[in-house]
Amino acid sequence: MGKCISILTINPALYTALDAADEPAEMYGLKPEVINARFINPISYEKILSPVGRTGKLVLVSRNWITPAAELEKLFFPQK
């Protein structure tokens, strides 16, 4: 733990995640492990949490942006 990171992704974001996995390795010496959730069917939290348990870190890569309700906007975007 400490020099590893798990990257969870699905569908088109997989290619972005694979490209992005090279950067932490080069810049910070981290060893990224990319998990393609598309092939975890039915979804199994154990198959996702097992690598995260080894690495201690998880980055979620998604193509879709989740827009919060208007009343929660300050919580999602505190920089405004």
- Could you tell me the CATH number of the domain that includes residue 50? 3.40.50.920
Domain that holds residue 48: 4-63
Reported pTM: 0.64
58, 4 in Cβ contact below 8 A?
no
38, 14 in Cβ contact below 8 A?
yes
Does some domain include residue 70?
Answer: no
The secondary structure of residue 63, as a DSSP letter, is: S
pLDDT (tens place) for every residue of the chain, 80 residues total: 556 888 888 777 888 888 888 887 788 887 788 888 877 777 778 888 888 888 888 888 877 666 667 777 777 766 65
Does some domain include residue 73?
Answer: no
Burial class (CB in 10 A: 0-12, 13-18, 19+), 57: middle
Does some domain include residue 8?
Answer: yes
Does some domain include residue 26?
Answer: yes
Residue 7 phi/psi, 5-degree rounding, is: -120, 115
Does some domain include residue 42?
Answer: yes
Does some domain include residue 78?
Answer: no
Give the count of domains, the chain. 1
